[in-house]
Copies of this chain bind each other. A is one copy, B any other.
Amino acid sequence: MPQKDELVFLPLGGSGEIGMNFNAYGFGPRHDRRWIIVDCGVLFGREASTPGVDVIMPDIRYLTEQRGQVLGIIATHAHEDHIGAIALLWPMLKCPVYATPFTASLIEGKLEEEGLQGKVKVKRVAVGGNLVLGPFTLDFISITHSILEPNLLAIRTPLGVIAHTGDWKLDPDPLLGEVTDASAIQKLGDEGVLATVCDSTNALTPGHSGSEARVRDSLVDVIGTLKGRVAVTAFASNVARLDSVARAAKAHGRHIALVGRSMHKIVAAARETGYLKDFPATFDEVEAAELPPRKVLYLCTGSQGEPRAALARIASDNHPFVHLTKGDAVIFSSRIIPGNELPIFELQNKLAGLGVEVLTEQDHFVHVSGHPCRDELEQMYRWTRPAIAIPVHGELRHLTEHARLAKSLQVPHALVPANGQLWRLAPGEPDLIDEVPSGRIHRDGFVLVAEGEGLAKSRRALGHAGLIAITLVLDGKGRVAAEPAILMEGIPAPVHEAVRDAVEGMIATQKRGDSDGLAEAVRRAARRAAADSWGKKPVCRVSVIEI
Binding site for B on A (CB under 8 A): 16, 46-49, 51-52, 204-206, 338-339, 341-342, 345, 348-353, 355, 358, 362-363, 395-397, 399-401, 444-447, 449, 455, 458-460, 462-467, 469, 471, 473, 481-485, 487, 489-492, 494-495, 533-536, 539, 541, 543-547
Name the residue on B nearest A457 (C-beta).
B490
Interchain CB contact under 8 A, B545 and A445: no
Interchain CB contact under 8 A, B459 and A545: no
A351 to B396, CA, bound (A): 9
CB distance from A339 to the nearest CB of B (A): 5
CB distance from A326 to the nearest CB of B (A): 11
Interchain CB contact under 8 A, A458 and B490: yes
Q: Which of B204, B358, B459, B494 contacts A462 (CB 8 A)?
A: B459
A471 and B458 contact, Cβ closer than 8 Å, known pairs A49-B342, A396-B349, A445-B492: no
Interchain CB contact under 8 A, B447 and A495: yes
A463 and B460 contact, Cβ closer than 8 Å, known pairs A342-B339, A473-B473: yes
A545 to B496, CA, bound (A): 18
Interchain CB contact under 8 A, B545 and A473: yes
A445 and B535 contact, Cβ closer than 8 Å, known pairs A363-B204, A458-B489: yes
| Chain B contacts for A51, CB-based, 8 A | 51, 460, 463-464
Interchain CB contact under 8 A, B353 and A534: no
List the 8 closest A-B pairs by CB distance, nearest first: A463-B463, A51-B463, A485-B543, A445-B535, A459-B490, A471-B471, A462-B462, A47-B48
A353 to B458, CA, bound (A): 27
Residue of A341, A350, A481 most packed against chain B (CB within 10 A)? A341
CB distance from A291 to the nearest CB of B (A): 26
A462 and B489 contact, Cβ closer than 8 Å, known pairs A48-B342, A358-B397, A400-B352: yes
A57 to B532, CA, bound (A): 23
Interchain CB contact under 8 A, A545 and B485: yes
A494 and B49 contact, Cβ closer than 8 Å, known pairs A345-B397, A466-B462, A541-B489: no
| Chain B contacts for A401, CB-based, 8 A | 352
Interface of A is mostly: mixed
Interchain CB contact under 8 A, B455 and A459: no
A49 to B547, CA, bound (A): 43
Interchain CB contact under 8 A, A445 and B536: yes
Interchain CB contact under 8 A, B341 and A464: no
Interchain CB contact under 8 A, A338 and B342: yes
| Chain B contacts for A473, CB-based, 8 A | 473, 482, 545, 547
6 A-B residue contacts at CB 8 Å?
A: A47-B47, A349-B396, A446-B535, A447-B534, A459-B489, A481-B547
| Chain B contacts for A545, CB-based, 8 A | 471, 473, 482-485, 545
Interchain CB contact under 8 A, B471 and A490: no
Interchain CB contact under 8 A, A463 and B459: yes
A543 to B490, CA, bound (A): 16
| Chain B contacts for A345, CB-based, 8 A | 338, 395, 397
A460 to B547, CA, bound (A): 36
A351 to B363, CA, bound (A): 32
Q: Which of B338, B459, B469, B483 contacts A464 (CB 8 A)?
A: B459
Instruction: Given contacts A458-B490, A462-B462, A545-B545, list 16 more A-B pairs with CB under 8 A.
Output: A47-B49, A52-B536, A339-B341, A339-B342, A350-B396, A352-B395, A352-B399, A353-B400, A458-B466, A459-B466, A463-B463, A467-B467, A469-B541, A473-B482, A487-B541, A547-B547
Interchain CB contact under 8 A, A446 and B395: no
A348 to B338, CA, bound (A): 14
| Chain B contacts for A541, CB-based, 8 A | 469, 487, 489
